[in-house]
Amino acid sequence: MKRMPKKLIATAVAGLLAAVGGMAVAQPAPNDAQIAGIVVAANSVDVDAGKLAEAVASGKEVKAFAHQMVVDHTGVNQQAGALVKKLNIAPEESDVSKSLRKGGDDNIAKLKTLSGKAFDKAYVDQEVTYHQAVLDALDKTLIANAKNAELKDLLVKVRPAFVAHLEHAKHIQASLK
Amino acid sequence: MSFQHWRLARRARTAAVVLSVIAGSSAIAAPTTHTILIEGMKFSPPTLEVKRGDSIVWVNKDMFPHDVTEQQGAFRSGAIPAQGSWKFVATKRGQYSYECSLHPVMKATLVVK
């Protein structure tokens, strides 16, 4: 049981790490359509995990956090959807977005094998790692490469939410120890 | 200037003085409305001082709901949707610590004098 979170974390954030590291996978800088695709994928992955945790988590605080993740990341995706429509950008899949989705699916598959406190811990551990990885991607890759000013602005506006979610998740993580 | 004109002018001056006194005093006493922005997961300004009777409007500029929850239960907005707002009239003096209960890392203070 102890080794599982590490494994699933590794899979789930592989895409983001690739986006951050760049050289590890030698990926070219993402264009705006790919950045939009990464934003949509990143939010969707956390919405899906949140929906599962909302239903399965046993701790009240974990359940409430999961619900909040669903609400907030759905809100971000709605805003992102409205913007890309306005800008006429079709979100494009890339290796990063695909890897994110794959990581998200693997995470959910693992979480489905857990219950009770083990589920709560695995979900929250993953949320800490996930939000940190998205923050790193925003700071090192996504914001810097966004060409369209409104897309860049959206990424900048979204950033504080990831910081707050990360702090919130870390707070819960500490209480679960 | 005829006497009649002089009287009219004097009345006008008196009226102007009376009006400005009323306006001045009401400017001091009248409650005002303050705005606190909720943006980028922060309450801005983080500390606001108001007078008793003033109104405070919290405006949510973020992409998802927030709320305003006083820690001792003095006031609670309920969820304020994205681009929504909530108005509160401060009737009791005191220093109130509040947070967004949905995102407990968001904390701020309202001081009612």
Q: What is the model's pLDDT at position B1? A: 53
Q: What is the model's pLDDT at position B20? A: 47
Cβ A76–B42 below 8 Å, yes or no?
A: no
Q: Which of B49, B101, B103 is nearest to B75 (CA)?
A: B101
Residue A157 predicted with pLDDT over 50: yes
Task: Give CA angle at B83 (A150, B107), nearest 5°.
Answer: 100
Cβ B102–A161 below 8 Å, yes or no?
A: no
Report pTM.
0.81
State the count of interchain CB pairs (< 8 A) between A and B.
40
- CA-to-CA distance for A50 and A56, rounded, in angstroms? 10
Mean pLDDT of chain B, nearest integer:
86
Q: What is the DSSP letter of A27?
A: P
User: Which one has a higher pLDDT value, A29 or B19?
Assistant: A29
Most A-contacting residue of B37, B69, B100, B103 (CB-CB within 10 A), to test interface: B103
Q: What is the mean pLDDT of residues A10-20?
A: 50
Chain A residues touching B64 at Cβ < 8 A: 71-72, 74-76, 161
Cβ A161–B64 below 8 Å, yes or no?
A: yes
Q: Confidence band (pLDDT; 50, 70, 90) for A28? A: confident
Q: What is the model's pLDDT at position A42? A: 95
Task: State which H helix or E strand residue A99 sits in.
Answer: helix A95-111
Candidate from A5-19, B48-62, B87-101 with smallest mean pLDDT: A5-19
Residue A45 distance to chain B (closest CA, Å): 17
Distances (CA, A) of A117 to A6, A79, A123, A171, B98: 17, 34, 10, 16, 31
Q: Which of A114, A106, A108 is nearest to A1 (CA)?
A: A114
**pLDDT tens figures, A77-124:** 999 999 999 999 999 999 989 999 999 999 999 999 999 999 999 999
Is A157's Cβ below 8 Å from some Cβ in B? yes
Task: Give CA angle at B71 (B52, A58), nearest 5°.
Answer: 155
> CB-based contacts of B82: which residues, under 8 Å, 6+ apart?
A75, B60, B62, B63, B64, B65
Distances (CA, A) of A74 to A16, A48, A88, A153: 20, 10, 20, 18
**pLDDT tens figures, B5-54:** 666 566 666 555 444 444 444 445 689 999 999 999 999 999 999 999 99
Sequence-ordered strand ranges (E) for chain A: none
Residue B72 distance to chain A (closest CA, Å): 20
Residue B105 predicted with pLDDT over 60: yes
